[in-house]
């Protein structure tokens, strides 16, 4: 078995001993994680070396309330001055001076990033739900209080608005559930051969009613092949892409087209907006990514394209963005047009 000093150097965490606030031992992955070698760290005040602070920039002390074992999280500055979230477990050393402590420092940057992303999802979804729920509440309250004062056409308009906003809430909830399933590998697809043109017509008919500044056109070939896919998920992807085109196009035509290529159907949603710079062609599918310098100031969770990418890739397809002929954006996704070959299984018989 290797000697203890060698084993300590293999630790994924940092082991630090502090006496009177000064570092007297610097082992484990200290150099790899924090940057300073043992010779550089020894003798330094630990708070001065690491500069611990919280997410608001307030200065902290790693040895605060260290009279008993504690576990806290801080942002520290590494040797190259980059910020790093760490978890610090500290305990006083028995039978030693009262200001002697052993510390275990662990990298928690990834976990904190996940926590931050969860908070951003909750904040974004809460913001997006507030508007349709307020609308539903407002129109419902108006109808209940003044039912007899409105004619049939007005009531129909109110109820149609309530239905649209209710569908919007339901869609956001379903998207959030799908996001969770994709990221945990639990997404289930109910695939069959289906007609994309029917889905496109349904999406366009629904969304055209939400905008009088855009003309949304379905321009699919007469003999568009069927695709092997989950109808609900493909409708969700098309809805996200057309809604995205509406948000980033002040006015103009949005076109849903398709072409068959290499045994797949490529569905294209193009617009006449300001387009997307080439440097953002990959980033635009990232979680919470938002385009800048848009006069329309679009709202949204920043999850639509991220979710569309996850759903298409779950089908074994691809999704990408190019510049449209009009100068706007053209989002394309591909889907298989043939049923997968059945897997051969042995019966155990000759």
- Check which CATH number belongs to the domain holding 286 and give it: 3.30.565.10
In angstroms, the CA 296 to CA 216 distance is 18
| Same domain as 302, residue 226 | yes
Q: What is the tens place of the pLDDT at every residue in 131-167?
A: 889 999 999 999 999 999 999 999 998 998 898 889 8
Domain boundary among the residues 79, 107, 135 is at: 107
> What CATH number is associated with residue 77?
3.30.450.20
Neighbouring CB atoms inside 10 A of 294's CB total 13
Residues 211 and 169 in one domain: no
Q: Please indicate, yes or no, if residue 163 is contained in any of the structural domains.
A: yes
Same domain as 208, residue 313: yes
Instruction: Examine residue 348 and state whether it is found in any structural domain, yes or no.
Output: no
Q: Please list the residues that pair with 92 across neighbouring strands.
A: 101
CA 263 to chain centre: 31
Would you say 227 and 196 are in contact if contact means Cβ atoms under 8 Å apart?
yes
Q: Would you place residue 196 in the very low, low, confident or very high pLDDT band (cuts 50, 70, 90)?
A: very high
Residue 260 pLDDT more than 80? Answer: yes
Q: Which of 158, 183, 208 is the last residue of a domain?
A: 183
What pLDDT is attached to residue 223? 84
CATH assignment of the domain containing 127: 1.10.287.130
Residue 98, domain member (yes or no): yes
| 272: in domain | yes
Task: Answer yes or no: do 197 and 329 share one domain.
Answer: yes
Cα(47)–Cα(55) distance, integer angstroms: 16
pLDDT tens column, 207-255: 888 778 899 999 898 888 999 999 999 999 999 999 889 988 888 899 9
The pLDDT tens digits of the residues spanning 77-122 come to: 999 989 999 999 988 888 765 688 999 999 998 888 878 777 777 7
Is residue 131 domain-shared with residue 256, that is, in the same domain?
A: no
My answer on whether 201 and 331 are in the same domain is: yes
Does any domain span residue 349?
no
**53 and 101 fall within a common domain:** yes
**Is residue 342, in this structure, part of any structural domain at all?**
no
* Residue-number span of the structural domain to which 23 is assigned: 4-107
91 and 16 part of one domain: yes
Q: Which residue has the tokens 């200065």?
A: 59
The tally of domains found in the chain comes to: 3
Pair 303, 227 in one domain: yes
Phi-psi region of 73 (alpha: psi -120 to 50; beta: other; left: phi over 0): beta
Same domain, 28 and 57: yes
User: Does the pLDDT at position 29 exceed 70?
Assistant: yes
Q: Do 214 and 309 belong to one domain?
A: yes
Asked whether 14 and 33 are in contact (CB, 8 A), the reply is yes
Last residue within a domain, chosen from 39, 72, 107: 107
Residue 341: inside a domain:
no
pLDDT band for position 36 (cuts 50, 70, 90): very high
Whether residue 130 has pLDDT greater than 60: yes
My answer on whether 235 and 289 are in the same domain is yes
Q: Is 258 within a domain?
A: yes
User: Parallel, antiparallel, or unpaired: how do β-strands 100-107 and 191-194 relate?
Assistant: unpaired
């Amino acid at each position: 078995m290797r000697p203890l000093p060698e084993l300590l150097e293999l630790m994924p965490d940092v082991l630090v001993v502090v006496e009177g606030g000064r570092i007297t031992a610097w082992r484990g992955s200290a150099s790899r994680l924090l940057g300073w070698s043992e010779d550089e760290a020894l003798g330094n005040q630990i708070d001065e070396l690491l500069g611990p602070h919280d997410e608001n920039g307030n200065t902290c002390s790693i040895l605060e309330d260290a009279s008993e074992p504690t576990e806290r999280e801080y942002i520290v500055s590494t040797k190259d001055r980059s910020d790093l979230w760490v978890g610090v477990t500290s305990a006083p050393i028995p039978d030693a001076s009262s200001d002697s402590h052993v510390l275990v420092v662990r990298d928690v940057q990834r976990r904190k990033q996940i926590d931050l992303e969860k908070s951003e999802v909750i904040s974004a979804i809460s913001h997006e739900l507030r508007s349709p729920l307020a609308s539903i509440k407002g129109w419902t309250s108006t109808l209940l209080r003044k039912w007899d004062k409105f004619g049939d056409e007005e009531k129909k308009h109110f109820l149609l608005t309530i239905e649209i906003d209710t569908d919007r809430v339901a869609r956001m909830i379903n998207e959030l559930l799908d996001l969770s399933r994709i990221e945990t590998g639990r997404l289930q697809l109910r695939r069959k051969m289906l007609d994309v043109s029917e889905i496109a017509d349904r999406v366009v008919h629904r969304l055209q009613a939400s905008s009088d500044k855009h003309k949304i056109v379905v321009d699919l070939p007469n003999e568009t092949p069927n695709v092997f896919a989950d109808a609900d998920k493909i409708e969700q992807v098309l809805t996200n892409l057309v809604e995205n085109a509406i948000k980033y196009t002040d006015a103009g035509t949005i076109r849903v087209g398709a072409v068959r290529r290499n045994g797949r159907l490529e569905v294209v949603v193009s617009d006449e907006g300001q387009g997307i710079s080439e440097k953002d062609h990959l980033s635009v599918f990232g979680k919470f990514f938002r385009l800048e310098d848009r006069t329309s100031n679009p709202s949204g969770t920043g999850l639509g394209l991220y979710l569309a990418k996850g759903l298409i890739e779950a089908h074994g397809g691809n999704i990408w963005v190019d510049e449209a002929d009009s100068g706007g954006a053209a989002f394309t996704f591909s889907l298989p047009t043939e049923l997968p070959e059945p897997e051969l299984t042995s019966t155990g018989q000759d």
